Amino acid sequence: MKTGVTKLRFPEFRDSKEWPMISGDKIFDPISNKNHNSDLPILAITQEYGAIPREDIDYQVSVTKKSIESYKVVEVGDFIISLRSFQGGIEYSNFKGLCSPAYIILRKKIDVINQFFKQYFKTNIFIQNMNKNIEGIRDGKMVSYKQFSELLLPNPSPEEQQKIADCLSSADELITTQAQKVDALKAHKKGLMQQLFPAEGEIVPKLRFPEFRDAGEWEKTPLGRVIEIASGQVDPTKSPYCDLPHVGGENIESDTGAILNVSTAKELYLISGKYAFDESYILYSKIRPALNKVARPEFKGICSADIYPIRPATSELLLAYLPYMLLSKMFLEYAKKHSDRGKIPKVNRDALKAYIPSLPTPAEQRRIADCLTSIDELVAAQAQKLDALKAHKKGLMQKLFPVMDEVDL
């Protein structure tokens, strides 16, 4: 029998035998129960949430009552092989419901701990092993039960499975709690911004800092009068642009404006570019639905055609205030309403310049920007803690599960 070796075991199991590795069909059966009255919730099979009722994540896909008759019943504790399993692993269901007959439902046939395999089926170890040993798996093609049944799966004692499941579930609980802290801060910032910027038809916001409560109304000013939008296409194949970081909408994180995972134009093999920018600009994503992406770069670079580099053109507008104004509810609603209706809806230059915000004095702009920047810093700090917890769990999983090339014959 083939066995697997792990790098880390809990003390009470260190003298136990190595883990037996047995084929998937010895542990899980395929299930195709279509005996239902179509009254169960329809489940979306997602990489982020596993199997979850569609209404819980606003999953908008219409299906006919007739087609639902062919759907399969998913029980709590079942696993589902999806079209994306070759990329994100096999999903677990905490819900009873229905799923498309295109999916393969797996149910345990021997005494194993579901939560152990819930964790294992999402590891890089398992996904790499699945892709390495199964030829022809591509986007749009599902892993078959026959292919799954040929995979070797770890099967330590139920007691050791439970210990590992409990450990990783505790890590998940910490991650969930930390993620809730991040979300709460983001929600606080969003609510505060709705108070700090005027609503539709208003000249002043509902909330003003004490020192500005008697400062009078904000002044309506066409945005085109106080901003400058970069123009002039650059050639990313030539110096100095080829060695500069390239930023697209995909590199800007929503809400926080963090710029992530950038590469140089040379590394990306770009042959055409759009605009150059430096620290005097903010980067605004003009493409729907990513109109809530605004970044303040701390480096020189070039950007794709879905980004406008924008900077103040007069002393009436502060650079620190500009990103928050473009993230205000009033501007977002304006941008959505005035997006082009082409294949890729976007806010063009004329529409951007035609927006008429109410502007406070530079001193009040500074106060608002400082307040919101401090919240952004809190969000960033808590997000770093979240990333650290995720990295810690990932490291644990790499040590708690056997690596396939360490399997003894």
DSSP one-letter code for 278: -
Question: How does pLDDT run across 238-275, given as a tens digit for each residue?
Answer: 999 999 999 998 999 887 888 999 999 999 988 877 89
The pLDDT value recorded for residue 340 is: 75
The pLDDT value recorded for residue 135 is: 58
Pairing of β 245-247 and β 301-303: parallel
pTM, 2 dp: 0.84
Q: For residues 98 and 374, what is the distance between their CA atoms, to the nearest angstrom?
A: 46
Q: For residues 246 and 299, what is the distance between their CA atoms, to the nearest angstrom?
A: 11
Nearest to 150 by CA among 135, 128, 133: 133
Q: Measured on CA atoms in the order 228, 229, 234, 236, is the torsion positive or negative? A: positive
Averaged pLDDT for residues 322-331: 94
Q: For residues 158 and 173, what is the distance between their CA atoms, to the nearest angstrom?
A: 22
For tokens 């509810």, the residue is: 329
Report the mean per-residue pLDDT for the chain. Answer: 90
Evaluate whether 3-170+390-406 and 219-359 have a shared fold: yes
pLDDT at 81 over 70: yes
The pLDDT value recorded for residue 407 is: 44
Distances (CA, A) of 271 to 99, 212, 263, 300: 44, 50, 14, 19
Whether the upstream peptide bond of residue 240 has omega within 30° of 0, thus cis, is: yes
Q: Where are the domains of the chain?
A: 3-170+390-406, 219-359
Q: How many of the other CB atoms lie within 10 Å of CB of 139?
A: 8
Averaged pLDDT for residues 111-126: 95
Question: How does pLDDT run across 28-46, given as a tens digit for each residue?
Answer: 999 999 999 888 999 999 9
Question: How does pLDDT run across 351-381, given as a tens digit for each residue?
Answer: 999 999 999 999 999 999 999 999 999 999 9
Nearest to 338 by CA among 351, 327, 325, 355: 351
Q: For residues 85 and 139, what is the distance between their CA atoms, to the nearest angstrom?
A: 9
Q: Which two tokens stand for residue 333?
A: 């609603």
Contact 310, 227 (CB under 8 A): yes
Q: Which CATH superfamily is domain 3-170+390-406 in?
A: DNA methylase specificity domains (3.90.220.20)
Q: Which two tokens stand for residue 382?
A: 């808590």
- Please list the residues that pair with 245 across neighbouring strands: 264
Q: Which two tokens stand for residue 380?
A: 């960033």
Averaged pLDDT for residues 4-10: 88
Q: Which two tokens stand for residue 311?
A: 């900077």
DSSP one-letter code for 153: E
Pairing of β 43-46 and β 358-359: unpaired
CATH 2.40.40.20 fits 219-359, yes or no: no
Contact 237, 259 (CB under 8 A): no
pLDDT at 406 over 60: no
Question: How does pLDDT run across 189-209, given as a tens digit for each residue?
Answer: 999 999 999 988 888 999 999
Confidence of residue 408 (pLDDT cuts 50, 70, 90): very low
